[in-house]
Structure 1
Amino acid sequence: MIRAAIVGLGWWGKTVVDAVQGKSDKIAFVAGGTRTRAKAEEFCRDKKIDLRDDLDSILNDPNIDAVVYTTPHSRHEEHIKRAAQAGKHVCVEKPFTLNVASARAAIDAVKKAGVVLGVDFQRRFHPSVGEIRKRVRDGSLGTLSFCVGEVATPSGLALPKESWRTNPEETPAGAMTGLGVHLVDGFIDLCGEVDEVYCVNTRRAAPLVDDTTVFTMKHKNGVISTNYCTLASAASYCIAVFGTRGIAETMRPSLDTFRFIPVSDKPHVAGQPEIIENKGFNPVQAVMEAFAAAVQGEAPFPITHDQIIHGVAVFEAIVKSAKTGQPVKVA
């Protein structure tokens, strides 16, 4: 059992704790830290988490194996470095960092310390996404032509003014940091590295943040993926990959249902679909347990350092495209 600390106990930090505490035999949270102690005291008592007053008390504790950060994005490099220097394995909320230089510096610290690094792209771990990955890898889809991703949440409509998530320096390009980076990671996994991006960003309904972001990625292998994100609609997440032999997709509103539609011998008639249900799966628990397994030496964390850095490079290019209104090559 990995003994972890959770640093950052806002709504997402609490979601991470709820996913594993008392439910996993691989990882448990024994300590926590937050900037707003009063908002977390009751939660930590209920979850039997020792709420600490400062990060040093966590990093200096030999009874803590790993630190999970759900902190503002601009702090990630600093926090990862401090954990690594203390010999703690570290997992961080997405986006990993806000620019490539920061990502490289954080990963250099992790490599120097020899600790395990995880990043919370939990949707990659869902079995429905795994079904798409399997069909991409084994050739069932034939030659890929394009992909579509859609993700939505109403959270932008009710963000409080005091939330750091309303700060455009922390959340550039509207819905990218909250939602779009999941699609970036997902399609890097399925289609490979990205060569060029184009992004359009706007504010439609949310009072404090740009809420709607659309971006297209041209992958190095020629596949095009187009992605739609909004912070101002009903919760939904779905992706689809189109190939010469069929379509593999997850169906709205969640990842619970996978569907494969084969090409038929009639050009305007779809083949008989294959449907696989994966209800009740918790991807947040899955990513935390994959991190724990990597710490235990059972299996490498499936998102590599190179993929993490490339994902940040793609994100940085998308932010630049949103600002300039022009396509941007990924560095």
Structure 2
Amino acid sequence: MKIAVVGAWHVHTMEYSTAILNNPKAELCCLWDDNEERGKATAEKLGVPFQPDLDAIWNDPTIEGVSITTATYQHKEVLLAAAAHKKNIFTEKVLTFTNEDAQEVAKAIKDSGVKFTVSFPHKTWPTLKAAKELVDSGKLGQITYARVHNYHNGSVAPMPDGSLGWLPPHFYDASQTGGGAMMDLGAHPMYTLHWFLGEPKSIVSQFTKVTGRAVEDNAVSVIEFENGTIGVSETGFVTNGIPYVMEMQGTKGGLMVHNDTLEYTCEETGNKLVQMTDLPEKSTMPIDAWIDACCGIGEAPNGIDDAVALTKFMVGAYESYNTGKKYVF
């Protein structure tokens, strides 16, 4: 299938585009970006033509799909156009800034019948797949507390020119991103908590600006779920320490994921903390699974309802922070 890249704004543009290039079922035919200099430079790196006219992509019947890595504020317009022109859609998260826009996009995508996937790569991890199976088995009892910690050093890593941080400046422009660390890197804890715990009831957020940039670079949201379960979403761009930790505590046991290691305790382990060694295989990455689905193989993962749910979590998180109050869903 022929796929066009729509947008070179996001830091994952090269990753997704390279995956398309490496997939034997796909052909990366061109790249568009609203910044011609950036678009041409990215297209040259990929060895594909730069297409300055977005309408030419929409109106080309040979292009079956698009990989969307524009600025987040452009998502609604681009997603609606893609759906209207029957292009299968792979998109970077988050879907949109508002619940209303998310619902409008969802309706358009469902009406169009196109294959849709949002990039939730952590759901492919062997550790998280095993953790989900363990939680769903009931061996840990009712989950009462969950914490997902996901950080990197994108704002503090020393760079060759003496500056700090490898994230591009536009990642700190709220008009383009809709927020800072929670909107970007915090998406992973949010969709993971939704995957494990279901729908939220309320949320409270605390964000800070460690490096003094325009958006938060250090963030925590505490979420109330059904049955009294508490979920904590932790994220930031300001640590060189431990990048990933997940905890699940239940009435009969608990688990901890630390980077690539899963440990758990419950009745079958004699209530001792043991490492799980028989982890499942890593799942196909979302973009490759989407390409498979477009070619009639399997289902497209992380569908539009999952994308809408993530927007709901983010709207609540930022509304709580901006008002200083608990947000009730």
TM normalised by structure 2 equals 0.87
Match of 2:258 in 1: 251
Question: CA 1:258–1:37 in structure 2 vs 1: closer, same or farther (change >3 Å)?
Answer: farther
Deviates further, 158-167 or 125-134: 158-167
Structure 1 residues 159 and 200: CA distance shift in structure 2, 3 A: same
Q: CA separation of 1:152/1:272 partners in 2, compared to 1, >3 Å: closer, same or farther?
A: closer
> Which shows bigger deviation, 28-37 or 270-279?
270-279
CA distance in structure 1 between the partners assigned to 2:48 and 2:280 by the alignment: 31
Query: What is the SS of the residue equivalent to 1:297?
Result: coil
Give per-residue Cα distances to partners, 1:66-106, cap 9 Å, x unaligned.
Answer: 01111111111110110111110112111111111000111
State the alpha-carbon separation in 2 of the partners of residues 124 and 161 from structure 1. 24
Tell me how large the CA RMSD over aligned residues is.
Answer: 2.6
Partner of 2:274: 272
Distance in 2 (alpha carbons) for counterparts of 1:311 and 1:31: 29
Deviations, residues 144-177 of structure 1 (Å, cap 9, x unaligned): 1111111112223446998332222334453111
Letter of the aligned partner of 2:263 in structure 1? R
Deviation of 1:193 (Å): 0.7
Unaligned residue ranges in structure 2 (runs of 5+)? 157-163
Partners of 2:183 and 2:257 lie apart in 1 by 22
Distance 1:31 1:186, change over 3 A: same
Distance 1:58 1:155, change over 3 A: same
Check the 8 A contact 1:161/1:208 in 2, yes or no: no
CA–CA distance in structure 2, aligned partners of residues 297 and 222 of structure 1: 41
Structure-2 separation of matches of 1:14 and 1:242: 37
Unaligned runs of 5+ in 1: none
Q: Deviations over 1:254-307 (max 9, x none)?
A: xx33333335898xx73333245689x6x8x60101212232333332324333
Rate the CA distance shift 1:4–1:237 in 2: closer, same or farther, 3 A.
farther
Q: Describe the shift of the 1:39–1:168 C-alpha distance in structure 2 as closer, same or farther (beyond 3 A).
A: closer
Shift of 1:247: 2.4
Tell me the amino acid that sits aligned with residue 18 of structure 1: T
Q: Choose which of 262, 266, 274 in structure 2 pairs with 1:262.
A: 266
User: 1:240: which partner in 2?
Assistant: 247
Letter in 1 for 2:220: V
Q: Distance in 1 between matches of 2:44 and 2:68?
A: 19
Q: Secondary structure at the match of 1:145?
A: strand
Equivalent pairs counted in the alignment come to: 320
Alpha-carbon deviation of 1:20?
Answer: 4.1
1:193 aligns with 2:199: yes
Q: CA deviation at 1:210?
A: 1.8
Matches within 5 A, 1:173-322: 173-234=179-240, 236-252=243-259, 256-262=260-266, 270-276=272-278, 286-322=285-321
TM-score of the pair, normalised by structure 1: 0.87
